[in-house]
Amino acid sequence: MLNTGTNVGDTMRAETLPADRPQAPVPEQTADGRSRVSRWWPLSGTRVLQIAFALIGLQLVVRGLVLSRGYFYWDDLILTGRSGSMSLLSPQFLFYDHDGHFMPAAFLVAGIATRLAPYNWLVPALILLVLQALASLALLRLLLLILGRRPAVLVPLVFYLFSPLTLPAFAWWAAGLNALPLQIGLAWVAGDAIRLCRTGSARYAISGFLVFAASLQFFEKAVLVPMAAFVAVALVYRVDGRARPIRAAATRGALLWAPTLLLAVVWSLIYRLTVTIDLARYDRASATEMLWHATSKGLLPTLFGGPWTWDRWPPSPPWADPPVVLIGASGVLAAAVVVATIVWKRRVAWVWIAVGAYVFASIAAMVVTRSGADTTFELGQTLRYLTDSAVIIAIALAVILRAPARTARAGSGRGPAPAVALLSAFVAGSLVSTATFADSWRDDTTRDYLANARSALAAHRDVPLLEQPTSIWVLLPVAHPHNLVSHVLGPLPDRPEFAAATPELRMLDDDGRLVDAEVTWVRTIDPGPEPGCGHRIGTDISELPLDGPLAGWEWTVRLNYLASADGEITASLQQGDPVTVPVRRGPNSVFVRLTGGGGLLEIRAMDPDLTLCVGSGPVGVVVPSR
């Protein structure tokens, strides 16, 4: 058991994997009893920890700079809009099917942030930084459990901390609320699994179960966390030379595997009942092309500090756009690393097989759920579907470094210079990729749109604003109804009411500025039969003919009327639901947004004491006034 006076490296060796196994391999010993590692890279365990914490601090500084150039984007607006209009603890809010995602905890965190400070980017940025810090510390804990306080622990740590592979999901708040808790779960539960197998203490089973349960609430992919932890334990057993590593891992970690498996089954049933799973239609050629883009143009260049450059079609997110030479070089280097480590270390081939299986499963999930006729292959280059692979690869590197060398000569080192040079080159390339990503991510219209809309709406709170979609440069119509201004701008405290009818027609332009607007004459309300009145409206439904039929769509009607008193009427198209419209005594106009189609406008008064005369007017779409 633990001796509190020993360091983590000594503890790792003392807590055998089980008690009757041989001591885990340690770095080869020289004639004077000192390890070769300590001779060519003489860092104490304390100094290794200091460097590790400094690297994590540097990562957070770099990621903070990236966030300073970012802002709310796409799904962030959907999360914020729903948070501003619904009860945060309601099932409708928490268990919403968000494009196939089941993430009640992510909704809750977004809701709390919105209630605290709607559209204040500082709050989401701090949340992302805290989650990133937790993920980095959880991985450091796991790496120390596998390698101890050896300088080798810095290799997988540096890869994870600075790899551009995790960057796109981190910078996007909605994606980060999925990806970062998953990364925390992968690292922490694997660490608890190792501690449980070494000590047999139930507290690690309890801790691992709770972290797994929490990560499941943020992202459905977290269902893979226990499996990844099991494989990590089994691989550690294998490289240590343990007989029957899978059986040993299953037996020693049963206190963790049993409850997490049960939870995964129950959660899967809830997920299936809550979420509609639409499998994409794809063919073999499209799937192959998506695989190529996700790996050769996406994943592989990031393993070596790429992609260096990014491309973007606003309002889409940036995607990796590596130069051809990096695409070719990264493929060759990846193959060389796999071969070299298998030649150098014993029993590590299965480590790479496990990594390949995880990456392939992630890409396969992306293909069957996201690809289709309208999906571009660049989707795989956005990297956010592979971001958790960074944790898996870091674990794999640690297990490989733990494995014994095939010969004493192979295990000897040439000094720290080559390792430091390679890590420095990786970090330099990664920082270039980070800087170019931040520049691309900053090219976004949402910040200016929301800033202008906030000030414009605050200055015109007295007149209702007609419901309308936001700029297509902020949210495309495919996000309907979440692209409507009532959803996007609803959380703002100082604003007018969003309504289906208004006496003054204004609209937000693509820059978020409030401008006067008018209705185009797509169709016209025919003049009424009653001289001096037009169409007389009472409590019975009156049908006002149009000069032609309308296709089913969202239309705006300008009603020019003379009312006998203040009151309310209902209005609808021939094929559509009615909306309630307030009217004022005397001659006035009101602009009404109606959904539907047909060749008639149907109107009736809701008060028997109210009568109206309605004249001719346009039915069409809202455009800025000339």
Q: 534-568: per-residue pLDDT in tens?
A: 999 999 999 999 999 999 999 999 999 999 999 99
Q: What pLDDT score was predicted for residue 287?
A: 80
Note the pLDDT of residue 40.
45
Residue type, position 434, single letter: T
Whether residue 38 has pLDDT greater than 70? no
d(CA 253, CA 12): 17
pLDDT digits (tens, 9 = 90+) for 469-501: 999 999 988 888 999 999 999 999 999 999 999
- Residue 407's pLDDT band (cuts 50, 70, 90): confident
Question: CA separation (Å) from 558 to 43, 258, 489, 535?
Answer: 78, 65, 25, 14
Q: Each residue of 75-94: pLDDT tens digit?
A: 999 999 999 889 999 999 99
- Rounded to whole angstroms, how far apart are CA atoms 154 and 147? 10
**Sheet harboring 622-624: ordered strands across?**
506-508, 514-519, 622-624
Looking at the DSSP bridge assignments, the partners of residue 614 are 535, 561
Q: Determine the Cα–Cα distance for residues 126 and 185; give it in Å rounded to an integer.
A: 20
In tens, the pLDDT along 362-389 reads 998 888 877 666 667 888 899 999 999 9
pLDDT at 427 over 90: yes
DSSP label of 240: T
Residue ranges of domains in the chain: 8-29+44-71+121-442, 523-624
User: How high is the mean pLDDT of the chain?
Assistant: 89
pLDDT value of residue 15: 39
**Residue 326, number of CB atoms within 10 A of its CB:** 21
pLDDT for the residue 33: 33
pLDDT of residue 242: 92
The residue ranking higher by pLDDT, 41 or 295, is 295
Query: What integer pLDDT is reported at residue 249 of this predicted model?
Result: 97
pLDDT at 411 over 60: no
Output the CA angle 174-178-184, nearest 5 degrees: 135
State residue 373's pLDDT score: 61
Q: What pLDDT band is residue 23 in, cutting at 50, 70 and 90?
A: very low
Q: Are 56 and 140 in contact (CB under 8 A)?
A: yes
Q: Are 280 and 370 in contact (CB under 8 A)?
A: yes
pLDDT of residue 579: 96
Residue 355 makes CB contacts below 8 A (sequence gap 6+) with: 389, 392, 393, 396
Measure the CA–CA gap between 82 and 92, rounded to whole angstroms: 10
Note the pLDDT of residue 419. Answer: 84
Peptide bond just before 481 cis, omega within 30 deg: yes
Instruction: Express each pLDDT in 323-374 by its tens digit.
Output: 999 999 999 999 999 999 999 999 999 999 999 999 999 998 888 877 666 6
Q: Which pTM value belongs to this model? A: 0.89
Q: What percent of the chain clears pLDDT 90, i.e. is strictly above it?
A: 80
pLDDT greater than 70 at residue 586: yes
Confidence of residue 306 (pLDDT cuts 50, 70, 90): very high
Q: What are phi and psi of 583, to 5 degrees?
A: -130, 155
pLDDT bucket at 415, cuts 50 / 70 / 90: low
What's the pLDDT score for residue 45? 85
Mean pLDDT of 284-291: 82
Average pLDDT over residues 236-258: 96
At 494, is the secondary structure helix, strand, or coil? coil
Residue 27 above 70 pLDDT?
A: no
The per-residue pLDDT for 2 is: 33
Least confident of 150-164, 412-426, 430-444, 574-588: 412-426
The CATH code that applies to domain 523-624 is 2.60.120.260
